Amino acid sequence: MTGMTAGPRHLPLSKLITQAAARLRDGGVVAFPTETVYGLGADAGNPEAVRRVFEIKGRPADHPLIVHLAEAAHADAWAAEVPETARLLMARFWPGPLTLVLPARDEVPREVTGGQDSVALRAPSHPLALSLLRALAGVSGHPVGLAAPSANRFGQVSPTEAWHVRASFGGQVDQVLDGGRCRYGMESTIVSLLGERPRVLRPGALPMSALREVLGEDGIELSAGASLAPRVPGTLAAHYAPVTPLEIHAAADLGHRAETLLARGLRVAVLRRNRSMRGKPALPPLPEFLLPAPPAAYARGLYARLRELDRFAFDRLLVEAPPDEEIWWAVNDRLSRAAASARHLERS
Ligand code: TXA
Ligand code: MG
């Protein structure tokens, strides 16, 4: 590791990208923006560099990384087989917030795949991510893949702004490319093409309705145990946890739950959708934080809001449950994981 952080601010963006590409070629780790969340990238063909990503993130070695590509044509360098359905999805949604899991070629480093015989591929649409991939290919002399998990410490919510990455990793990464706020603020949708039918492994920024447009109404399976509503806390591995323990409640129950916790002397805050309490009984006097009511805007702001809230060190955050509708699947999934982690922390 070079011990250097982001380049001097006066450098033009093109120079920062060239610098980042050179660092990646030399085995460095560079955080970069994508349209979903920030990624912590290393040259996917360099096992040593990929191991550093795991180290910095504190991620267990058997959790595979997504390989980011400049274009769909590069998928064949990583996937042993690219079925017709995969090509259809790539043609329609790449570059964009869709990750495809395909059988891996033998040459793909096992550091990237976590020892599995499949590989996750995605072409990001953020112009800075694409420029970085092209610059890295330029200095490497061949097409490349950038192995990158979300640029957060393992178990924390994903970063949607450059300062989130700097706050987590400071000088531990060689460079942080600042591309402003991420457009989706939610991780990519992951679809496995290993089985008979495409299967959603993780709901994300690409909505199910978009996938159905290409695959047909019955063309896609949900992963085992996936449900659209917030899941029962405690059944999920601790993940996506903000620091403040959170609970999810229907709008009508927020007031009562808040009273109970306040009576126990806890410092409580509420996170709810804009205008959601219209016509409902007033909440007790509490700090209230809002997110926009439409699902895409809510998703875009969620992680940043949770990070911001953590700074107040409330004892408990009461989150108003978003609607139990498919368009809210990714948000409900992340919220219930965060709530499950909070339970987990309380028990331990
Ligand atoms: O939007 C995103 O997907 C962001 C940006 C940076 O691209 N990346 C991201 O990476 O969310 P990460 O590492 O936080 O999540 C990747 C997910 C993990 O849940 C991992 O288990 C899954 O992808 N994954 C990777 N390779 C896989 C494989 N071969 N089979 C099944 N799941 C895989
Ligand atoms: Mg992640």
Confidence band, pLDDT 50/70/90 cuts, at residue 9: low
Q: Which regions of the chain carry the CATH code 3.40.50? A: 246-347
- CATH among 2.60.120.620, 3.30.1490.100, 3.90.870.10, 3.50.50.60 for 13-222: 3.90.870.10
Q: Please state which architecture CATH assigns to domain 246-347.
A: 3-Layer(aba) Sandwich (3.40)
Predicted pLDDT of residue 279: 81
What mean pLDDT value characterizes the chain?
91
Q: Please tell me the distance between residue 206's alpha carbon and the centre of ligand 1 in angstroms.
A: 14
Q: Select, from the ranges 3-7, 55-59, 85-89, 278-282, the one with the highest average predicted confidence (pLDDT).
A: 85-89
> Where are any strands of DSSP class E within 189-310?
189-192, 199-202, 221-222, 246-249, 268-273, 288-291
- How far is 205 from 78, CA to CA, in rounded Å? 24
Residue of 187, 191, 302 to mutate, ligand 1, most atoms within 8 A of C-beta: 187
The residue whose CA is least distant from atom 20 of ligand 1 is: 64
Q: Which regions of the chain carry the CATH code 3.90.870.10? A: 13-222
Single out the residue of 201, 195, 194, 150 nearest to residue 40, CA to CA: 150
Ligand with smallest separation from the Cα of 119: 1
Predicted pLDDT of residue 224: 59
Task: Flag whether pLDDT at 219 surpasses 60.
Answer: yes
Which token pair is 107? 């040459």
How distant, in Å, are the alpha carbons of 75, 116, 125, 197 from that of 84?
A: 13, 22, 22, 12
Single out the residue of 254, 228, 230, 250 nearest to residue 337, CA to CA: 230
Task: Flag whether pLDDT at 282 surpasses 90.
Answer: no
Q: Please tell me the distance between residue 207's alpha carbon and the centre of ligand 2 in angstroms.
A: 18
Tens of pLDDT along 80-101?
Answer: 999 999 999 999 999 999 999 9
Which token pair is 290? 């809002």
H/E run at residue 18: helix 13-25
Torsion sign, CA atoms 250, 264, 236, 192: positive
Q: Select, from the ranges 225-229, 267-271, 282-286, the one with the highest average predicted confidence (pLDDT).
A: 267-271
